[in-house]
Amino acid sequence: MSNAVELLLKLQGVDYQLGELERSKDYLPDMIRTLEGDIAQAATAVAEARDQLEANRLESKRLELRVKDKTFELERLQKQMLVIKTNKEYDALAREIEHVKADIAASEEGILLALERIETLEKEVQAKNAHREEIAARNGVQLASIKSEMESVGSKVKIKEDERRNIVVRLEESMVAVYERVRRGKGAGAVVFVRNKACSGCYKTLPPQLIQEIRRAERLITCDSCGRILIWGDDA
């Protein structure tokens, strides 16, 4: 019977490993999506910062051209001031000149603000790009490892299924039936040790006589409380 108990423990270990492999088919793709999402998010942040930088550069150039055009216009208006003949024409031209000067001043202020933003955004692009490269390198290593693991899951499952069949054929059918019934209800903890004179599955204290039977391992014994298969442990 002691050999059968060892086989049951091995069977439970194999079933746990099979369960982990099956679960990996769900969580590994999730991990890949998360890692790839982090890389994409970092790349998007760089692209957005670069777009803002380019927009401010274009705005600076636009304002520089406006200043240039308005400066030419101002020069033209100032020349006109030399040839006007009436006060009315003078007043109208003076208002137009002031308007152009205000436009130039506003454009020059806009250029300064754009240049400040450009300087800030250049540093931001550099920092975000360094962050993107760091994430891409770190996550790239993890992605390669996870994808390699995913590719090997199928072969690992087959190996464990073969190992399981080799164990099951060495056990009595009735014992396997009990194990399968308990496993359906309790999951991975179908076979548990007696620890501190109690079932380590539900922690119910066991009668001394039952403990002795478990220790002798002459028959398969289950816990009256939780139904798990009980086996002797060194610290029972």
Residue-wise pLDDT for 196-212, tens only, equals 999 999 999 999 999 99
Beta strands in 53-203 (DSSP E): 191-195, 198-199
Among residues 232, 162, 161, which one has the least CA distance to residue 197?
A: 232
Q: Is 31 exposed, middle or buried (0-12, 13-18, 19+ CB in 10 A)?
A: middle
Considering the domain architecture, whether residues 208 and 117 belong to the same structural domain is answered as no
* Amino acid (one-letter) located at 37: G
What pairs with residue 195 in β-bridges? 198
* Domain match, 147 and 54 both: yes
- Is the model's pLDDT at 186 over the cut of 60? yes
Q: What is the mean pLDDT of residues 24-34?
A: 93
Q: CATH number of the domain that 85 lies in?
A: 1.10.287.1490
Tokens (6 digits) for 1? 């019977």
Q: Which two tokens stand for residue 146?
A: 């996870």
Annotate 182-227 with DSSP letters as a single string. Answer: HHHHHTT-SEEEEETTEETTT-PBPPHHHHHHHHHTSS-EE-TTT-
CA–CA distance from 33 to each of 29, 85, 156 (Å)? Answer: 6, 77, 23
Strands 229-232 and 191-195: parallel
Residues 165 and 195 in one domain: no
Phi and psi angles of residue 145, each rounded to the nearest 5 degrees, phi first: -65, -45
pLDDT score of 172: 92
Residue 220 lies in a domain: yes
User: Has residue 228 been placed in a domain?
Assistant: yes
191 pLDDT tier (thresholds 50, 70, 90): very high
pLDDT in tens, 111-158: 999 999 999 999 999 999 999 999 999 999 999 999 999 999 989 999
The total of structural domains in the chain comes to 2
Q: What is the structure's pLDDT at 26?
A: 87
Residue 132 located in a structural domain: yes
178 and 167 belong to one structural domain: no
Does residue 15 lie within any of the structural domains? Answer: no
Same domain for 124 and 195?
A: no
What's the confidence (pLDDT) of residue 85? 85
Of 93, 98, 104, the C-alpha closest to 70 is 104
Return the pLDDT at 1. Answer: 53
What is the domain extent for residue 100? 24-171
Q: Which residue has the tokens 């020069």?
A: 75
State whether 166 and 180 are in the same domain.
no
Kindly tell me if the per-residue pLDDT of 75 is higher than 90.
yes
Tell me, yes or no, whether 210 and 192 share the same domain.
yes
pLDDT at 234: 67
Cβ(22)–Cβ(153) below 8 Å? no
| 212 & 101 share domain | no
Summarize pLDDT for 156-182 with one digit per residue, the tens.
999 999 999 999 999 999 999 999 999
